[in-house]
Amino acid sequence: MLYYVLVFLSFLQSVIGFTLMSSSLMRFKEPVRRRIIIGFTAMLTGIILLSFSLYSQGSEQVSRSAILFILAIEIVWFLICSKDRFFVSLFSFLTFVNIYLSISYISDNLSYGFSGNAFVGARIIIRSIIYIIILPLLFKYVRPRFRMLVETLNKEWRAAGLAPLLFLVMQIMILYYPSPYWSWNSGHWFRYIIAVVYLLFLTVYYLLHIQASALVEKYTFEKRQLLMTQQEKLWESELSRQKEEATLAKRQRHDMHHHNAVIMGLLQNDEKDHLLRYMESFDATLDTHSTSLFCKNPIANSILNLYANRAEQDNIKTEFNVNIPESIGIDSIDLTCVLGNALENALEGCLRMPADEEKEIIVTAKYFDRRLRLQVENTCLSDITFEDELPKTQKQGGGTGTRSIVYTAERYDGTAGFSLTNGKFITQVVLNAR
């Protein structure tokens, strides 16, 4: 009885291990919680069927088809939960099938010195150790790079899927045909072949990683150049505004005695109504050229002033609740990327609305605990749709702004989210200071 329990635990461990490995790189469909619950329900159903087969047919009979049964369960898990494109999911699934088979082979070989219950127990322990080592590496190091590759590469995934497919065929042919690996003796030459195959597998994936990383670096460089150009435009706008203010101040100082003469003349003639209108006109002229101080951070203040002026020109109401200090541990280019793109998207969203409808942009930005929290709300049309949790662009060649926000947030171990609620588009970003 104990042997059957251990065999069942071994099957259960395989399902859980494969699921956790694949989930470490997967992008889940919405709603995530509901998808996970459905996936676990399907997985539990499969485990129950596997347990019934184990009880009715015996472990020897079930062990021969257990791998196929486990893979069928995982295919269902992918179909229910994975939001990635087909070829991305195929590449991920085939890769983890290869890893799962190699873990099974390694754990079985290391347990050959035992028999019966001890063999199954040793195999469970060895697999647990392997999973404990692999899973944190996948979540912490592999996932961020893999997700960036998913967003960067497109048709390349069709060719990339051939690598794990070929290795899977090779692994199956070596491990199971013409005789399964558990029947090999200690000197069987297939042991050396499979070792070479695993080294080749690691080498090919390392080369794929290098090539893909080169593409990502190229894309990142181009994106950074674009952001630097955007920041230069903002700085030029700020410099032009400051020059205008300096020229205005110089002209006002030069003309001040004329204003004083006019004021003195109106006072002497007791023309208070004319004096009041003159002072109001003078104040309006000053306000036209004034720059608001939204926060102490010069980059953020420049961006906010730029888009506040644009919004005012387009009759868009604005509300700014901003508290960003001068030094926040976030690169100026990255701050420009996040704040500039969020406000640019908000402005474009408002301008898409009919001219007679009220438009509004609300910006809330707070910095505390070495973390910048930004939220930009804007009125918008209700026809916005989402793909991969990102809003689908409404203009030709667009969509880079939201992706740039997401990439920047990931670089700072933060988060970025986009939602549509009650006629308002909401952008929420969190950046952790370095």
Tens-digit pLDDT string for the chain (434 aa): 687 788 788 888 988 999 999 999 998 887 888 999 998 998 888 888 877 776 777 666 566 677 788 888 899 999 999 988 899 999 999 999 999 999 999 998 888 878 888 988 999 999 999 999 999 999 888 888 788 788 777 777 888 888 899 999 999 899 888 788 878 887 788 888 899 989 998 898 888 778 777 777 777 777 667 666 666 666 666 566 667 667 766 766 666 656 667 677 767 777 767 767 767 776 666 555 556 788 888 888 888 888 898 899 899 999 999 999 988 999 887 888 889 889 989 999 999 999 889 999 999 999 998 999 999 999 999 888 887 678 876 665 556 678 778 878 888 888 999 999 888 999 999 999 88
**What gap in Å lies between CA 230 and CA 237, rounded to an integer?**
11
pLDDT at position 70: 84
Q: Write out the DSSP string of 118-185.
A: HHHHHHHHHHHHHHHHHHHHIIIIIHHHHHHHHHH-STHHHHHTHHHHHHHHHHHHHHHSSS-GGG--
The β-bridge partners of 222 are none
d(CA 349, CA 80): 33
CA atoms of 418 and 427, how far apart (whole Å): 5
Q: May I ask the CATH class of domain 292-432?
A: alpha beta
Per-residue CA distances from 292 to 180, 242, 342, 413 (Å): 76, 12, 20, 32
Cα distances (Å, whole numbers) of residue 156 to 1, 74, 152: 50, 24, 10
Task: Report which DSSP code applies to 30.
Answer: S
As a whole number of angstroms, the distance between CA 143 and CA 137 comes to 9
Amino acid found at 428: Q
| Burial profile 126-153: b = 16 or more Cβ within 10 angstroms, e = fewer | bbeebbeebeeebeeeeeeebbbbbbbb
Tell me how far apart the alpha carbons of residues 74 and 209 are, in angstroms, rounded to a whole number. 25
Distance separating alpha carbons of residues 21 and 81, to the nearest angstrom: 14
> Which tokens is 349 given?
């969203």
Instruction: Name every residue whose Cβ is closer than 8 Å to that of residue 134 and which is 6 or more positions away in sequence.
Output: 21, 99
Instruction: Give the residue among 100, 140, 92, 133 at the shortest CA–CA distance from 15.
Output: 100
Task: State the pLDDT at residue 59.
Answer: 60
According to the model, what pLDDT value does residue 275 have?
A: 67
Burial class (CB in 10 A: 0-12, 13-18, 19+), 39: buried
Structure tokens at 214: 């080169």
Nearest Cα residue to 105 out of 170, 161, 37, 58: 170
Q: Which positions ≥6 away from 160 have C-beta within 8 Å?
A: 87, 91, 153, 208
Query: How many helices (H) and strands (E) in the chain?
Result: 13, 7
Burial class (CB in 10 A: 0-12, 13-18, 19+), 154: exposed
CATH 3.30.565.10 residue ranges for the chain? 292-432
